[in-house]
Structure 1
């Protein structure tokens, strides 16, 4: 049985990824900050709920201990939890607002990964998938033919760029674990007021695909629906 944890699993891409991996036979721990919403989502999914606030070190450690006691290992970690940020013009975004966005989108992934590393090292062909964005791609955001070039967001975009590099550094430090970042594309979720042109099913495709890679799969990469993504 493959043991999987997904953060931000109570809705959107996290929920759909959890649904697909449960369907694939995984024992999924659906992570969420809100207990009521998380428990309701887990019940709908046929998953196990674990409360985790990725902005809180103690919460990440407690979630890891919960999974350790129940399962003894972790095979797949999907760092999906994220926030859209301040939604302000670049010149008006403050350092404090940048920090708030990074607390979830970057430092949150680091907190969770660090807390679960011992369980991942005990896992079977362990995999970590970090949900980034095309908005974190220097290539995409500077290509006038890409929709990403029309979006200016100092905090959100740069946080996703940082997450791709964080992924690369973990991959180098832990060669026995497959670490990859993914771009689900412009997906209709609460994050963008459901304005995206991809469905959550389409957006989750690349997350699920990279969650299912084996020991001979890629690591340290950035992928979208078409394959390796420009960065």
Structure 2
């Protein structure tokens, strides 16, 4: 497909979705939102893929909303704003719910809605020079649509501060509060991301999909009898699955599992 705002490449069972509007710091507009939603919907259905990397071209990862798009929104009715926000919410959900593991490779500054993009990924790696900012309140707005994912990623305590102050903070602070998983030098960012992707690709594709879903379902769930019963069903299901049986057999027989062949 001829993407207008993205570059999508597939190599060795790994897809790389690259935000490709460096002239506007990869800020997103209606087209970007629609293309990201479509890209992750299609890639999620590709049975040959094992992982997806979300990256960006240029000096910034994502500056949030495009200024021209924001000018248009200023004249929207309440109903138009709700419809527009619903599309943004669907874009975020398309990444969060994608059955493939998604790794964010954050090479440059990540602001506002860009933090939403990072937060919906399973794993995020940032260059040490990157800065983050939830800047919405400076514009009289709030980070509402991205909030379920950003709060999950950084925690309520950090959100209490950064949602309200709109302070810019470093990659090291993002790592300290748990928003990103790793911080590396700019020169080592590609290699660090590739190492994580290699680990993902080496594992059972079915188990990785189910493990991703397990985290999402269990993380905020109350510890009830129903939850305990559900986890017992899940492990029984995975043990009796083809890849579950193959994984155990290959381990006992001291050979590589079939999904690595």
Give me the TM-score of the superposition, normalised by structure 2. Answer: 0.31
- Which structure carries more helix by proportion? 2
